Homo-oligomer: A and B are copies of this chain.
Amino acid sequence: MKSTIPEPTLRRLSYYLRYLERFKEKGLNIISSKELSIALGLSDAQVRRDLFTLGGFGKRGVGYDVSKLFNFLNTFLGLDNLQSIILVGCGNLGKALLQYKGFKKRKFIITHAFDNDKRLIGKKIAGINIQDSKEMQREIRKHKIIYGIIATPASSAQGVVNSMIDYGIKAVLNFAPIKIHVSQGIVISSVDLTTELEWLSFHVHHGT
């Protein structure tokens, strides 16, 4: 199914999911669009529009069924099943990502980590054995993994991503501070920490 959901709405769905999960944990069964909008810092109309886009949840004057909406969003975002991720590049950032517990809550698990630094290969971080990058092809194919995180230096990132994709990776989360080019059909998202700081700097210097 090809998506027709606008990108900003899509990004917000992750936030809805997160808050719905908290409401569930608190034992709330029904939530109004007003309560959702306050929690998320959006307008009431925006929340109603977003959820209408998804197929019209909730009844006028009654609100939304928390569990139903949570389950729907979970399936909609493809988060029903456990998803394996490989991580390439086990420097400071890579090591931190291996230890990061936030992914697991959304059923993403880094199952394999690779590096080409002899001093890192064989080490265990958060229970995951760092393997030689040469093993990448075999592991991706054997376990049919489609998610990859790249945390290598900028200079080697594009080459590693090309290999990942050759071996079967379909979605890449890039932490290397460089623009990565991928062919059509491959999804990529980049997180560039320094760019974020530069963006803040600009706004501090030019007014927001």
Contacts and interface: CB of A to CB of B under 8 A. Distances in A.
A146 B204 contact: yes
A41 B179 contact: yes
B191 A200 contact: no
A77 B201 contact: yes
Interface string A175-201: 001110100111101011111111111
A181 B76 CA distance: 27
Contacts of A203: 3, 171, 187
Interface in A1-46: 1-3, 10-11, 13-15, 17-18, 39-41
A23 B130 CA distance: 34
Interface string A135-150: 0000000000011000
Interface in A99-113: 99-103, 105-106, 108
A54 interface: no
A4 to B, nearest CB: 9
A106 B201 CA distance: 11
Given A41-B179, A93-B100, A14 B79 contact: no
A29 to B, nearest CB: 22
Contact of A78 (B17, B41, B201): B201
A11 B195 contact: yes
Contacts of A173: 193, 196-197, 200
Contacts of A147: 197, 200-201, 204
Contact of A194 (B106, B193, B195): B106
A134 interface: no
A202 interface: yes
Given A78-B202, A202-B3, A14 B108 contact: no
A176 to B, nearest CB: 10
Interface of A: 1-3, 10-11, 13-15, 17-18, 39-41, 76-79, 83, 85, 92-93, 95-97, 99-103, 105-106, 108, 146-147, 170-173, 177-179, 181, 184-187, 189, 191-208
